[in-house]
Structure 1
């Protein structure tokens, strides 16, 4: 599933970045804007890549939707808050791709599966060979990068 904020027709290197635990503090199952805390170090990293011409796309597992912890609307409101806060800090997010399924559902869009990236590739022209994945978990985000043959940059706060 996707939320597209900025459409473009350029072929660009892209940063595929995890959300919870990477961009913002993981609550867990974050969905209340009062809980939103953005990590300054990740903002700096994203601004660095954006300054080099990379597109920024969020890719995130959101099983809280499938578990009934929060609604799709609550997810969207929180995610829009993340994207708007990043924009205020100078980082433009082009889209968010998210998996609402529980881990036991075995869907192909759940990271480290590549379904979310395939959706992004159908919506954007991506220089995949020059792209990378940024996240806080090697077992999920790092494995996604390896599944795609992309570099992985791990962040820890």
Structure 2
């Protein structure tokens, strides 16, 4: 075995890594969008989420719509590898804004229930993964690559 393959220089490993990153990021984020849009996984659904964003958090309605739809559709685009860089940008921005809501709670998530809210570590992971996809693109196992070949 060539030494380069152990250290990730194989193009196949790079594309497989991009696919794994896309599935992980999109798969972890989409349930949050489904909570907001469909009311699945214990979520309130679209009306309740819009009300919470606009009334409870004071987010203007157009921005609330953008955030909700980004959390729902961007993960689907990322997993399929369609418009990956654009979807990743939207997700990075959405999670960056969400991070500002949690600054006051510190870095760590509220694993033990001893703080008033969640820290920013969760959003940092999403932003980092999304920015990595923006830089690398979707890879060869994607709809972006398939469309690029045509």
> TM-score, normalised on structure 2?
0.26
Which protein has the bigger strand share? 1
Which protein has the bigger helix share? 2
> TM-score, normalised on structure 1?
0.25
